[in-house]
Amino acid sequence: MDFTVESATSAVVGSFDATPDPRLREVMQVLTRHLHDFVRETAPTVGEWNTAIEFLTEVGRWCSDTRQEFILLSDVLGVSMLVETINGHEGGTESTVLGPFHMTESPRRELGDSIDLIGGTRVCVVTGTVRTTSGEPLADAGVDVWQCTEDGFYDVQQPDRQPAGNGRGLFRTDAEGRYWFRTVVPSSYPIPTDGPVGTLLGATDRHPYRPAHVHLIVSAEGYEEVTTHAFVAGSAYVDSDAVFAVKKNLMVEFVESTDAGAAAEYGVEAPFVHAEFDIVLHERS
Amino acid sequence: MDFTVESATSAVVGSFDATPDPRLREVMQVLTRHLHDFVRETAPTVGEWNTAIEFLTEVGRWCSDTRQEFILLSDVLGVSMLVETINGHEGGTESTVLGPFHMTESPRRELGDSIDLIGGTRVCVVTGTVRTTSGEPLADAGVDVWQCTEDGFYDVQQPDRQPAGNGRGLFRTDAEGRYWFRTVVPSSYPIPTDGPVGTLLGATDRHPYRPAHVHLIVSAEGYEEVTTHAFVAGSAYVDSDAVFAVKKNLMVEFVESTDAGAAAEYGVEAPFVHAEFDIVLHERS
């Protein structure tokens, strides 16, 4: 009957023995073991544990329809990225974190449309082809993109200054698997630091910046969906991303182009910035 | 630069290297290792991880001035009890969980006062002496008590049916270290199950009940404060407390007494229930 530092874990693990769903049972029992190991190793005082409870409560208080502080916490602890990496598919484009800003549905747009609704200065064309691991183009694949402005803000962060859907678009590839759209070159930016996760970063002397990137979720019937980024090669913070999401294979050159023919084709004026990011989807197993 | 399942932990642990406060640095680095081990061992899908994020968000949503769902979560995972046990003091009265209901200040009361403001049926007198580990009585020690009604509810759970402070009292021991007060015999009760922690208990086929108990926090100048319970010996659920807080040494016999002299002394009518719970405080180190 007695609960001791030694017997604690088997008592709690045992309490989950009757869980009908075997996966839930496994997760709760493994969680209990690691959580108790963490507590035994750090031996928090009651005051320290209360501080942890208050921190989690505060994280909860900051969550709203347009803010997900728990995802942010998972991000800065590298957990989101670890989960993405564990679920990656050999041979397909590497995945990276979803991040906290994919909270509104991207508006459906036509190939070639601009997702920049506020008129940025460094006009950019992003192009690419979605293919299978054997190189076949995938027609009618969904390419959901979202990114920040040249100033480093997403639409949901500036409801007064950006129309909803700015920097967002849901495209479908053409018969040759191609997608293309107009935008602006995104900026590096700090993750939101006005909440408890920002306080944690400050207290641990970590900067909150992410290197510049365009988010993508690419999907096609019968293939594994991939959540990834196109990172702007050479951007600040590529070696110290606050959420650990950088992978070498996701670095994309955003190149200044003076090709007037290409500019006309994409409906922009030369010079413009061109980024090409091809995607490989893995067949669903 | 690449983040892999193998390199993930050292990257995140390293990000905390510059934390100025050594204790915070230690806690964050140990947390990172155990959290990543948990993720690697369970290998959650992205959907499962989202479910975990939504669960924590929901726990946060249920927190208010009168509800602490994160403490409840910590309780049902045995973590609150583990922290209390780690911080126990050899030779002193054993500690147990604070629980989620010590959220309002207990009203200051005089020795012998009743904390039952609504007129329960099984009138009970709780008495005891607070002593040092060498047996010396401790005068003017603070004895903060709180308990549920005979129906199993705390005042904060029934603001319409119980006056604030019902079942609560802050007493000070007399010159001989004694405390005594009138109350009713508390009931076993379920922890709140209308929130996400209740949903978790349901999904894992765990019952939400706690054996009957009176909460106490006992403190004296120069001594370690103890947060503990007096459990009603023989109560239902003493072998399967939902929050794992039972310790053999905290079992107290609540005895039916027909002693008319004692009844008069305590200002109750015979027969009444008498419980004696002595407390030993450890000197502050």
B255 touches chain A (CB under 8 A): no
CA gap B234, B273 in Å, rounded: 14
Q: State the smallest CA–CA distance between residue B117 and chain A in angstroms.
A: 31
B5 touches chain A (CB under 8 A): yes
**What are the pLDDT digits (tens) for A167-178?**
999 999 999 999
Distances (CA, A) of B202 to A43, B44, B190, B198, B268: 30, 21, 12, 6, 42
Decide if B78 and A37 are in contact by the 8 Å CB cutoff. Answer: no
CA gap A141, B120 in Å, rounded: 69
Are B156 and B227 spatial neighbours (Cβ–Cβ below 8 Å)? no
DSSP 8-state code for residue B95? P
Decide if A78 and B9 are in contact by the 8 Å CB cutoff. Answer: yes
Decide if B77 and A8 are in contact by the 8 Å CB cutoff. Answer: no
Q: State the smallest CA–CA distance between residue B56 and chain A in angstroms.
A: 7
Phi, psi of B127 (to 5 degrees): -135, 160
Distances (CA, A) of A136 to A132, A133, A139, A180, B94: 5, 8, 9, 18, 69
Among candidate residues B279, B267, B256, B285, the one with its CA nearest the CA of residue B122:
B256
Decide if A40 and B82 are in contact by the 8 Å CB cutoff. Answer: yes
Mutation site, B28, B37, B42, B285, interface A, largest A CB count within 10 A: B42
DSSP 8-state code for residue B36? H
Backbone dihedral region for residue B156 (phi beyond 0: left; psi -120 to 50: alpha; all else: beta): alpha
**What are the pLDDT digits (tens) for A68-115?**
999 999 999 999 999 999 998 888 999 999 887 887 899 999 999 999
Give the residue extent of every domain in chain A.
8-73, 88-281
pLDDT in tens, chain A (285 residues): 578 888 899 999 999 999 999 999 999 999 999 999 999 999 999 999 999 999 999 999 999 988 899 999 999 999 999 999 999 888 899 999 988 788 789 999 999 999 999 999 999 999 999 999 999 999 999 999 999 999 999 999 999 999 999 999 999 999 999 999 999 999 999 999 999 999 999 999 999 999 999 999 999 999 999 999 999 999 999 999 999 999 999 999 999 999 999 999 999 999 999 999 999 999 998
DSSP 8-state code for residue B274? E
Dig out the tokens for A88 from the structure: 């990656």
Q: Which fold has domain B88-281?
A: Protocatechuate 3,4-Dioxygenase, subunit A (2.60.130)
Among candidate residues B281, B74, B90, the one with its CA nearest the CA of residue B173:
B281
> Could you tell me which chain B residue has the CA closest to the CA of A80?
B49
Strands (E), chain B: 123-132, 142-146, 168-172, 178-184, 189-190, 209-210, 213-219, 226-232, 251-252, 254-257, 272-276, 279-281
- A273-276 contact pairs (CB < 8 A, 24+): A273/A122, A273/A123, A273/A124, A273/A125, A273/A185, A274/A124, A274/A125, A274/A127, A275/A124, A275/A125, A275/A126, A275/A127, A275/A214, A275/A230, A275/A232, A276/A126, A276/A127, A276/A128, A276/A252
Contact residues, B window 60-79, toward A, CB-based 8 Å cutoff? 60-61, 63, 68, 70-71, 74, 77-79
**Mean pLDDT taken over chain A:** 95
Contact residues, B window 119-178, toward A, CB-based 8 Å cutoff? none
- A265-272 contact pairs (CB < 8 A, 24+): A266/A112, A266/A125, A266/A180, A266/A182, A267/A112, A267/A182, A268/A123, A268/A125, A268/A182, A269/A123, A272/A123, A272/A124, A272/A125
Burial class (CB in 10 A: 0-12, 13-18, 19+), A256: exposed
Q: State the smallest CA–CA distance between residue A153 and chain B in angstroms.
A: 24
SS3 A168: strand
Decide if B86 and A40 are in contact by the 8 Å CB cutoff. Answer: yes
What contacts B112, CB < 8 A, 6 or more positions away?
A: B180, B181, B182, B266, B267
DSSP 8-state code for residue B284? P
Cβ-based contacts of B51 with chain A (< 8 Å): none
For residue A1, the model assigns a pLDDT of: 56
Among candidate residues A144, A280, A143, A138, the one with its CA nearest the CA of residue A221:
A138
DSSP 8-state code for residue B61? H
